[in-house]
A and B are shown apart, each in its own frame.
Chain A
Amino acid sequence: MTSIAKPQIRHPGLLKNALGLTKQDYEGAMSTLCAGCGHDSVTAALVQAFWELDCPPHRAAKMSGIGCSSKTTAYFMKNSHGFNSVHGRMPSVTSGANAANRELMYIGISGDGDSLSIGLGQLSHAIRRNVRMLYVLENNGVYGLTKGQFSAASDIGSTSKKGEANVQAPIDPCLLALTLGATFVARSFSGDKAQLVPIIKAGLAHNGFALIDVISPCVSFNDHEGSTKSYKYTREHEVELTSADYVPLRSAITLAEAAKNETDGPTTVRMHDGSLVRFRNTHAGYDPTNREEAWLHVRQCQKRSEVATGVLFIDESGQDMHAVADTVSTPLADLPYSALCPGAAALDTLMKDYR
């Protein structure tokens, strides 16, 4: 019996995706998180999504900060690039990486502490700049790694393991992102992969900053009676506002079919790569393409102690950081040195323009 090493053995019937890879090829090291941590389920959902999307692992960069959540980049896509930054700096480091090479797929993993306390400024600006990345905020309402202190996501009245109630108002990352102009805002739950996997896929297809706030319970410090981020509380208070299906762009989808798809649900959004996010109506009248309404709805849910989940808002017409700044499309590493660094004479010419 081994409890540490990742077994080599796998189901003999493992399917291969279009790249000839199995799900095992999208796994990483054995998790060192506590048994039962929600973050491990998020990892499993990410693995599932990458595999289903036929993502080439060497074209992805996994970015993180500090926290149990931030450790999870080690547990998937072992053959990808990655940067484990200091606490709260992941959004900035990712902005820089994306500025230098827009061709990679950026997956940022953070926690409520990492994103909403020390890193709140970084997160805000990454949203504002619309850095093209998937931003997974594994939200457990505490600083798990440092043994369970309340975080900026803790609800008023939610108690610590010892019974003490939190008195500070929480920051809701979804409301924050809506306010700051984010173009993809979703919330999900680590215990509901059926919902989480399509949202991850849609977020990866989004042309801009895609935030998923994933309620991801901390079994060791925040899964007790009195916690508002426990498995039980989340299941009892979850209200699914939208249910999204992600329809990838495959040659099998004819244009006619796609057009039909666009009309048969309450809302279908065509992503910039041609794939579709189709919403099934789970909450009468909710329109995930209307920012103001979305904000109001989520806020009302919050007031009723409901946890609003689903793709809460999507706007595929936004321009990402590169489009706004009109940057060169070639990754900097691929530019010839003469173009990347044209020399003192070129600089002088440029400077003259500003004089």
Chain B
Amino acid sequence: MTQPAHYHKVVDCQYACPAHTNVPEYLRLIAQGKFSESYLLNRESNVFPGILGRTCDRPCEPACRRGRIDGTPVAICRLKRVAADLRDDISDRLPKAPTQKNGKRIALIGAGPSSLTVANDLMPLGYSITLFEKHSQAGGLMRFNIPAFRLPASVLDEETGYILDMGVDVRYNTSVDSMQALLAEGYDAVFVGSGAPKGKELDLPGRHEGNASEVIHIGIEWLGSVHFGHVTQTAPRVLIIGVGNTAMDCCRSARRLGATSVKVVARRSRPHFKASPWELEDAEEEQVEILENHAPKRFVYEQGKLVGMEFERLVWSETNGRQSSIVSDTIIIGCDTVILAIGQDNAFPWIEKDIGIAFGEHNLPVVDKLTHQSTRAEVFFGGDAAWGPQNIIWAVEHGHQAAVSIHNHCQGISPGERLPFMMNLTSVKSGMQAWAYSNDFNPKPRAKMSHEALVNRFAGIAIEVELGFTAEQTATEVERCLNCDIETHFTSKLCIECDACVDVCPVNCLTIAAPTDSESELRTRLSAPATNLTQDLYLSEPLPQTGRLMVKDEDLCVHCGLCAERCPTAAWDMRKFDLVVPYASQQCSSKVQRAL
């Protein structure tokens, strides 16, 4: 078994992270009190540990193996914040731009996380980068839409600063209004990281009646107005339509701006909500009411003044996997203000349609999934601008990949010619019954984030709600990490088929089984049936004595190392897996290799 792909997939969190953040290693560094090292390791892949440690959508957590063991994943995201909060001054350990430039000029449009990541990866390689930003600050939606009670401005300033201070030529308050004109300036490459800036409309009867223009808002615009101080208060009764990220930030902002009754209204039932469970909990903690199965029908006015909205109440049912609904009745819910938070669209009015940049469905540009290249060779897209709204960590990953492509493009190499993922595997055996890692695999409850008291919270929009973990919480939570990157590694020719590993494995991962042609058949006759098809089986080479196979179901392995500990021949070993992710900087050395 030498395929990096198998080992990579075992590290569930890292595999689920769009940017392949090395979670277990950064948690181990936290456990060792090496906060700066942990921060820097995070930064290699996700670039904004302080920001993401507070705001990430954390696809890693639902994937976390711990969740399959005792029901709750490791608090990966908030531990990232611990590293960020407790790090020393690391400015002298950050990558620097060389004084000698490489002669290539790149334009970035928009100062959101995707563009900033491109700058982060390319500045150290000697590129001259000009960044155009419509607004007066860097960060994109992270700055203008994510409220300060979730993400303090100081954190944004610091982490965007690390990149821009490498010498990016930033043009704030400069909107790019013509792509044609920009291209005419002769940049070697242009990266479009302008986001998905248009909030979706809800064209129902009454949308433009009476005082609608004052009291019906588009969510992301309204949040922007709150950020810039154009909106400083709300009427008492606020309805939020939609139940995604934006709705959650709108309802909680409204509570801080004086609303006393805030209701979030959703068409579907809770399991189908876009907002994450923890966001819903946070909103409910602030006495926001969440209504399921209500479809908006019309805006209700009295004497030209919005007084409520009418909804159809739906009953959903499922036939052949398809959801359908019937209307049970209608209801009018009173309100003074409505905020529409039902999604975002892309819009590129400033990209001329005849300059070789093709557009497909939904006003989205035609962009190569791997290289981020548009149909015009020197133009690349990433972040929400490429395929519609996603999240920060995806924007970062897009930035990394686009940087590789831009770098290739500028060196005259096809953007599709990319280095594969590679890995290092090193044994962690450090003596008799001693292994160079530590985890507590027995069931343990997840650390609970403490929050600012409700009474203090609403005193201002910028009072951060989450207080971070205490030292004690951090110490136990890092031990909950199973160290999935310390992987079982098998050497068939050493095995004497004594069964010791099979017998000792506390979660029945291992079986010595007769070979088969059918993996699905094999899955039924293991020590425990392997029912989680998203998790791979490991199959060894035929074993020396009987020709049977060592089979491991990776699903529930807690990386306790007992199989290796009880193996008399070290056929099982615990090895540290290190994923080597090729960034633009590595691509550089590959070019050198090619040249040699």
A: which residues have CB within 8 A of B? 1-4, 7-13, 34-38, 40-41, 43-44, 190-191, 193, 217, 219, 223, 231-232, 235
Which of A9, A12, A223 sits near B441, CB closer than 8 Å? A9
Given A1-B435, A40-B503: A7 touches B562 (CB 8 Å cut-off):
yes
CB distance from A219 to the nearest CB of B (A): 5
Q: Are A10 and B507 in contact (CB under 8 A)?
A: yes
B558 and A9 contacting across the interface, CB-CB below 8 Å: yes
Chain B residue nearest to A13 in the complex (CB): B528
Contact of A235 among B435, B546, B561, B566 (CB under 8 A): B546
Given contacts A35-B566, A36-B566, A231-B545, contact A7 B499 (CB under 8 A): no
B168: interface (CB < 8 Å): no
The residue in chain A whose Cβ has the minimal distance to the Cβ of B502 is A44
Question: How does the 8 Å CB contact mask read for B354-373 relative to A, with 1 for contact and 0 for none?
Answer: 00000000000000000000
Give the size range of B's interface with the partner. Answer: 35 or more
**B500 touching A8 by the CB < 8 A rule?**
no
B506 and A219 within 8 A (CB)? no
Given the contacts A9-B442, A41-B500, A1 and B437 also touching, CB distance less than 8 Å: yes
Of A3, A4, A12, A219, chain B has the most CB atoms within 10 Å of the CB of A3
For the complex, give the distance between the alpha carbons of A41 and B442 in Å.
24
User: Are B565 and A232 neighbours in the complex by a CB distance under 8 Å?
Assistant: no
* Interface positions of B from 404 to 452, Cβ below 8 Å from A: 433, 435, 437-439, 441-443
Q: A36-B567, A232-B545, A235-B546 are in contact. Are A9 and B69 (CB under 8 A)?
A: yes
* Closest CB in chain B relative to A244 CB, distance in Å: 20
- Pairs A-B, 10 closest by C-beta atoms: A36-B568, A44-B503, A1-B435, A3-B433, A7-B506, A36-B498, A35-B566, A8-B442, A41-B499, A219-B568
Given A8, A38, A193, A232, which contacts B443 in the complex, CB threshold below 8 Å?
A: A8
Q: Using A13-B529, A193-B499, A231-B545 as known contacts, list a sample of 16 further A-B pairs with CB atoms less than 8 Å apart, ordered by residue number in A.
A: A1-B435, A1-B561, A7-B506, A9-B69, A9-B70, A9-B442, A9-B443, A11-B507, A12-B69, A35-B566, A35-B568, A40-B500, A44-B503, A217-B498, A219-B498, A235-B545
| Interface residue? B497 (CB, 8 A) | yes
Given A1-B435, A219-B568, A38-B498 contact (CB < 8 Å)? yes
Determine the distance from Cα of A190 to Cα of B546 in the docked complex, in whole angstroms.
15
Quick one: which of B496, B508, B528, B529 contacts A223, CB cutoff 8 A?
B496
Check A231 against B506 for contact (C-beta < 8 Å). no
Complex CA–CA separation, A4 to B68 (angstroms): 24
Interface presence of B183 (CB below 8 A): no
Point out the residues of chain B lying under 8 angstroms from A37, CB to CB. Answer: 498, 500
- A12 partner residues in chain B, CB cutoff 8 A: 68-69, 556
CB distance from B237 to the nearest CB of A (A): 46
Bound CA–CA A164/B441 (angstroms): 46
Chain B minimum-CB-distance residue to A234: B545
Q: How many Å from the CB of A218 to the closest CB on chain B?
A: 11
Binary contact readout B480-518 vs A (1 if CB under 8 angstroms, 0 otherwise): 000000000000000011111011101110000000000
| Complex Cα spacing A12 to B507, Å | 8
11 contacts between A and B (CB under 8 A): A1-B435, A9-B506, A11-B507, A11-B528, A36-B496, A36-B500, A40-B500, A44-B503, A190-B498, A219-B496, A231-B497
Residue of A9, A43, A193 ringed by the most chain B CB atoms within 10 A: A9
Give A191 to B546 CA distance when docked, in angstroms: 11
| Chain B minimum-CB-distance residue to A230 | B496
